[in-house]
Structure 1
Amino acid sequence: MDAPLLFPRIVPISFFLLLLHVSQSNCLDISQCIAPLGMESGDIKDEDITASSSFDSGNVGPRQGRLKVETNGGAWCPQTPATAEPEEWLQIDLHTVHLVTSVGTQGRFGNGQGVEYSEAYILEYWRPRLNKWIRYRNYRGEEILNGNINTYLESKTELDPPIWATKIRFLPYSYHKRTVCLRVEIYGCRWTDGIVSYSMPQGDKRGPNWEFYDSSYDGFWDDGRLKHGLGQLTDGKTGSNDFKVSFYEHSKGWVGWRNDTRNGKPIDVVFEFDEVREFTNVNIFCNNQFTKEVQVFAKAEVFFSIGGKRSRGQPITYEYMEDRIFEKSRNVSIKLHHRIGKYVKIQLHFAARWILLSEISFDSEVIKGNFTEEEDEQEISASTNVKSQGASSSSGSGSESPPNKSSPSPQEFGQYMGVIAGILSVLTLLVGTLVGYIILQQRRRKAAGRQETYVPSNCEKAALYSEPIVLGQNSTNTQYMDSSTRRSEYAVPRLKTRPDPPSLQDIFPKPPSFPPAQEHYYASTEICNARFTPPSPPLSTPPLIRLSRQPRYVSNSNHYVGP
């Protein structure tokens, strides 16, 4: 009676524990990416700090633009005053892609003599994949960032969203023309995920006012598709369980697509990496408000490529079990089984009307080696046409030649390699088993050879063996036996055995063969009155050896002598 009651309780608890396990996110922890990158400490070299101009390059040049450093003039001061159309800039080269989460600025203190500072400024950044300078805007679409109110206090501004940059420029801004000086610091961390860019269709609208766009994407928007940039899916921030809260807070935590605008086709998101990598997992943070027509994708397919033109091998397919119990947002982790590629394409199939994504991250490592790019389908078709034309021309000339076999495709090659690897594994296992069996048999033989027969210490080995004696003959005749009748070729061990125990007949006298007289059973008066003399005990039975003797005869006569 209790089992039906326990079952509905156990299932939600186990499902909730599984949900907690799935919901753990492995994406970038942006809260730990807040370290200064080296303007104040000097980790950024002087030659990596440049400027459009300087009022006095030796006194207030770009090298003096370090936060909290008082050297020479005490700050970088441009040659022309700042205006609402900034042209002067201070540039810092980081050499590699960094995730910048905040920046800080100061004016020129100059040991109390400086009075110049910048009330506002604009940021621009550059990285190789963009190949152009991008002006930074926050989630509210603002370009102008608040600067300083005096010459000595640092004004630190958090960048939301953060930026991925190799070079950063600070452009002093002023609503009216004025002389400014600037000292700066950059906060963030090195970008180690290796993602150079991702491309995907832009999000859709939900109603007249809701736009599930990737608003922080810094690449190009070409014909409804985003290309060559980075944005919300890689910024390390995840949306809330209720997508409306994220929308009203202007955090833009979700990017969404609607099923009926795609004609049933899946969503393609293509990631480009800096180098060829080996992938173990991909983590996709999804919304699951099924009561509002939002669910986790039904199926995901992951493709890999070296050159970005064609996929390499079969895709990894992952089917998600539908959850219509909990509406909590979750991180779905898909194992990638150490697949190799520089480009990764993820296809997401709809399970409901909407798919909302907030973050996609990969667990990968750079792998070294020589990798060849996959051929394009057009190139393959052109090569096959050339081969077919060559074959037809050779057949037309009258010489028959066997048909040219095209080289196996990467998928077939991968299948062949898998079969070969499986056969080699089985052969290795068989050889190992055979070697182990042989070693075990040798050990058993060695252990059996060590067992020796116990030999008493008080006798020699030779004393254990003697010639066989023919049974049924006495010892006197045995010593006169002919040597030819002896079987000396067989060695019989001469073992000392105990004699057989004597029979009870040898110890106790035999009973008489006839019952005694009656007077022997009853005592008479004479015997009772007279002195009783016990009769002598009867003679014991002669030994068996005497009873077994044969009668003897005197030689040359048949006269019986007796035993």
Structure 2
Amino acid sequence: MGCGRPFDEVIAIAPLQRCHVMLSWCYLLLSATMTIECLDLSECQAALGMESGAIAAQDILASSSFDEASVGPQYARIRTDVAGGAWCPSTQIDQTRYEYLQVNLHRVHVITCVETQGRHGGGHGKEYPTFYMLEYWRPGRTEWQRYKGHHQNVLLKANFDTNTAVKITLDTPIVASKVRFVPFSEHLRTTCMRVELYGCEHKEGLLAYSMPSGEFYAGHLFDDRSYDGSRNSSGFLTGGLGQLMDGRTGGEFALGNGIVSDAANAEQWVGWTKPLVEFYFLFDDIRNFTALSLHVMDSSNSIKEAAVSFSLDGRHFSHTLVEYFRYENSSVAPGPDWLSIRIPKQCGRFVLVNIRNTGKLLLISEVRFESGDAYDVEIVTDGPFVGRISSPSFEYVWLITGLLGCCFLCALLVTIIAIRQRQRKVTSPSYTGLKSTPQAEHIAVDLKTGQMKVIRDTELWLPFLNAKANSTNVYMFDSDKCAVSKILEAPANVSSVQPAESASTTPLIPLKSSSSEEDSHCLSRKELFFENMRSEYDNPSLHYAASDVRIVPLSKAER
């Protein structure tokens, strides 16, 4: 993260793709476990590998060397006397010369101590550093940062001879992946040095936090003295780390009659009197949070309310689901204490914390997040939690209720439409005027009355009908002569009908006796046309077919 850039500009450097699957991912994390990572300085004191060789030679660089083969940077390992016995820059050092020895750690580490030693060279060496400065770099920064202690000192006391190692514990740990040793001297001198770094890997993942600068109160400035970011014109701190994440908790002091009783302990605290204080925290990757802990002075009388929100991209923060309220009957004793707020497993890379002050001085010395990366698997918590998780806001409840109501109405509407369509299918006829009848029908046209009837008693008429017919058949029926002749087959599929050559006339034996040939006078020799025929079988296709029927009397021979 760039030094001196506003927080909202910094987060735009590497925007995250906002993907909807992240919601599903966070949901799956609810069943995962996670290891809590908090900075514990007592367990962050290990040598990082200059002496042991864990830091490879290619990861030790220098601005220059007097002789690369004998006093190059690869020989700057503490308590190791090989070749020339140390690293020596090509020029002598004074207040204006800038030379450095650089160590690359690759991963981000917390540096708690540094150690230096001069060049012994088998008893022949005479060079050692008297002072030096530290510079460091971590991912996201655009320039190297020079280390400053609580009192803004940049010079660190080094050695007084060529063989004695001097180890210094830093006021504020350095969070970095690269570290430079910059030798310094008030007077021109030849300088050579060997070094070691102490600390641990930075597993908490915090890269920067932003907040308002501390305020004056009772004649004392309660400010973040070791903050390594930038400060804008309004006093807002952005893009750095400092006292609130240095692993050290503040000691107790009194504010009696407007006077600070212990200035040394007071320097460990950052304080505000404004009613609302906002903190922004940026992590190296998306993490799964379970708790936030604040080391606060007299929390029961200074904090009225705290709210925590989370974001994946730094611009769109979630609804505030985690809140802490001060209870009137709080039994927390005055003095320094941890205030812990449980978080119901929230995913995010950015965290926004809003604290409402009661109007008194709000003092915080340390902030800790209990979190793990997205793939950790065990949740370990110790110590009691105070505070609570608030219920969702009314706005959130109404939003959910409205969505559920809309879903219910849509489902009800679809059900009603489906039922009505099914009822229409049940009540509507299974045929239309453009469809033929679903089974074979036998229709007789009475020449005397001009009526068209459906033959329903098919068993009685079976000897005279076409038993193999699978479609509608029309017959000419003479009630006087008791005779029937087939004149049309499948009328719905025929546009014009001609007399069938094979048409035959059969006496209707069940009705009357056979008629004689002389009885054919009832049929005229001219063409007969029947119009406006009506049928008991109300089928439009049959009406259409009957209106096109042309009945031709049969000759005696054809009968």
Q: TM-score, normalised by structure 1?
A: 0.58
Do the aligned residues in 2 keep the contact of 1:86 with 1:171 (CA within 8 Å)?
no
Please, which of 291, 297, 303 is the counterpart of residue 303 of structure 2? Answer: 297
CA distance in 1: counterparts of 2:398 and 2:84, whole angstroms:
67
Q: Paired residue for 1:93?
A: 104
User: SS state of the match for residue 154, structure 2?
Assistant: coil
1:153 is displaced (CA, Å) by 0.8
CA distance in 2: counterparts of 1:100 and 1:254, whole angstroms:
21
Do the aligned partners of residues 418 and 337 (structure 1) sit closer, same or farther apart at CA in structure 2, a change above 3 Å counting? farther
Amino acid at match of 1:248: A
Q: Paired residue for 1:343?
A: 350
Query: What are the superposed Cα offsets for residues 156-203 of structure 1, whole Å, 9 maximum, x if unpaired?
Result: 111101211111111111111011110000011111111110011111
Amino acid at match of 1:224: G
Amino acid at match of 2:366: E
Q: Paired residue for 1:367?
A: 374
1:418 is displaced (CA, Å) by 12
Amino acid at match of 1:256: G
Do the aligned partners of residues 289 and 320 (structure 1) sit closer, same or farther apart at CA in structure 2, a change above 3 Å counting? closer
Amino acid at match of 1:301: A
CA distance in 2: counterparts of 1:246 and 1:91, whole angstroms:
42
Matches within 5 A, 1:14-163: 28-163=39-174
Do the aligned partners of residues 415 and 335 (structure 1) sit closer, same or farther apart at CA in structure 2, a change above 3 Å counting? farther
Do the aligned partners of residues 325 and 73 (structure 1) sit closer, same or farther apart at CA in structure 2, a change above 3 Å counting? closer
User: SS state of the match for residue 84, structure 1?
Assistant: coil
1:324 is displaced (CA, Å) by 7.3
- Higher normalized contact order (CA 8 Å, seq sep 6+, divided by chain length): 2
Amino acid at match of 2:235: G
> Does 1:288 pair with 2:298?
yes
Query: What are the superposed Cα offsets for residues 474-513 of structure 1, whole Å, 9 maximum, x if unpaired?
Result: xxxxxxxxxxxxxxxxxxxxxxxxxxxxxxxxxxxxxxxx
Larger Rg: 1
1:26 is displaced (CA, Å) by 9.2
What is the identity percentage for the equivalent residue pairs of Structure 1 and Structure 2? 39
CA distance in 2: counterparts of 1:201 and 1:141, whole angstroms:
19
Do the aligned partners of residues 352 and 87 (structure 1) sit closer, same or farther apart at CA in structure 2, a change above 3 Å counting? same
User: SS state of the match for residue 298, structure 1?
Assistant: strand
CA distance in 2: counterparts of 1:413 and 1:186, whole angstroms:
56
Do the aligned partners of residues 307 and 413 (structure 1) sit closer, same or farther apart at CA in structure 2, a change above 3 Å counting? farther
CA distance in 2: counterparts of 1:144 and 1:61, whole angstroms:
24
Do the aligned partners of residues 320 and 54 (structure 1) sit closer, same or farther apart at CA in structure 2, a change above 3 Å counting? same
CA distance in 1: counterparts of 2:224 and 2:92, whole angstroms:
37
CA distance in 2: counterparts of 1:34 and 1:88, whole angstroms:
27
Q: Paired residue for 2:362?
A: 355
Do the aligned residues in 1 keep the contact of 2:250 with 2:265 (CA within 8 Å)?
no
Do the aligned partners of residues 250 and 138 (structure 1) sit closer, same or farther apart at CA in structure 2, a change above 3 Å counting? farther
CA distance in 2: counterparts of 1:368 and 1:27, whole angstroms:
17
1:135 is displaced (CA, Å) by 1.1
Amino acid at match of 2:285: E
CA distance in 2: counterparts of 1:197 and 1:312, whole angstroms:
20
CA distance in 2: counterparts of 1:251 and 1:418, whole angstroms:
52
CA distance in 2: counterparts of 1:111 and 1:197, whole angstroms:
45
> Does 1:320 pair with 2:326?
yes
CA distance in 2: counterparts of 1:104 and 1:76, whole angstroms:
14
User: SS state of the match for residue 249, structure 1?
Assistant: helix
Q: Paired residue for 1:269?
A: 279
Please, which of 271, 275, 293 is the counterpart of residue 256 of structure 1? Answer: 271
Query: What are the superposed Cα offsets for residues 8-63 of structure 1, whole Å, 9 maximum, x if unpaired?
Result: xxxxxxxxxxxxxxxxx995221221111100001111111000000000110000
1:367 is displaced (CA, Å) by 1.0
1:104 is displaced (CA, Å) by 0.4
CA distance in 1: counterparts of 2:400 and 2:44, whole angstroms:
43
User: SS state of the match for residue 31, structure 1?
Assistant: helix
CA distance in 1: counterparts of 2:222 and 2:403, whole angstroms:
43
1:313 is displaced (CA, Å) by 3.8
CA distance in 1: counterparts of 2:369 and 2:76, whole angstroms:
37
Amino acid at match of 1:318: Y
CA distance in 2: counterparts of 1:418 and 1:284, whole angstroms:
37
CA distance in 2: counterparts of 1:200 and 1:233, whole angstroms:
11
Do the aligned residues in 2 keep the contact of 1:129 with 1:228 (CA within 8 Å)?
no
Do the aligned residues in 2 keep the contact of 1:26 with 1:361 (CA within 8 Å)?
no
User: SS state of the match for residue 74, structure 2?
Assistant: helix
Do the aligned residues in 2 keep the contact of 1:243 with 1:253 (CA within 8 Å)?
no
CA distance in 1: counterparts of 2:288 and 2:178, whole angstroms:
28
1:326 is displaced (CA, Å) by 2.4
Matches within 5 A, 1:412-561: 415=400
Please, which of 178, 203, 206 is the counterpart of residue 214 of structure 2? Answer: 203
Judging by fraction of residues, say which structure has more strand: 2
> Does 1:241 pair with 2:252?
yes
CA distance in 2: counterparts of 1:26 and 1:246, whole angstroms:
34
Q: Paired residue for 1:311?
A: 317
Do the aligned partners of residues 118 and 192 (structure 1) sit closer, same or farther apart at CA in structure 2, a change above 3 Å counting? same
In structure 2, list runs of 5 or more residues that go unmatched: 1-35, 377-394, 409-559
Amino acid at match of 1:220: S
Do the aligned partners of residues 199 and 415 (structure 1) sit closer, same or farther apart at CA in structure 2, a change above 3 Å counting? farther
User: SS state of the match for residue 75, structure 1?
Assistant: coil
CA distance in 2: counterparts of 1:119 and 1:257, whole angstroms:
40
> Does 1:218 pair with 2:228?
yes
CA distance in 2: counterparts of 1:418 and 1:183, whole angstroms:
67
User: SS state of the match for residue 303, structure 2?
Assistant: coil
Q: Paired residue for 2:205?
A: 194
1:351 is displaced (CA, Å) by 2.1
User: SS state of the match for residue 282, structure 1?
Assistant: strand
CA distance in 1: counterparts of 2:92 and 2:399, whole angstroms:
64
Do the aligned partners of residues 300 and 289 (structure 1) sit closer, same or farther apart at CA in structure 2, a change above 3 Å counting? closer
> Does 1:279 pair with 2:289?
yes
Do the aligned residues in 1 keep the contact of 2:113 with 2:168 (CA within 8 Å)?
yes
Do the aligned partners of residues 122 and 325 (structure 1) sit closer, same or farther apart at CA in structure 2, a change above 3 Å counting? closer
Do the aligned partners of residues 60 and 139 (structure 1) sit closer, same or farther apart at CA in structure 2, a change above 3 Å counting? same
1:249 is displaced (CA, Å) by 1.7
User: SS state of the match for residue 372, structure 2?
Assistant: strand
Do the aligned partners of residues 325 and 234 (structure 1) sit closer, same or farther apart at CA in structure 2, a change above 3 Å counting? closer
- Once the two structures are overlaid, the 10-residue window that deviates more, 121-130 or 220-229, is 121-130
User: SS state of the match for residue 47, structure 1?
Assistant: helix
Judging by fraction of residues, say which structure has more helix: 1
Q: Paired residue for 2:339?
A: 332
Query: What are the superposed Cα offsets for residues 115-138 of structure 1, whole Å, 9 maximum, x if unpaired?
Result: 111111111111123321111111
Q: Paired residue for 1:476?
A: none
Do the aligned residues in 2 keep the contact of 1:242 with 1:289 (CA within 8 Å)?
no
State the Cα RMSD in Å. Answer: 2.8
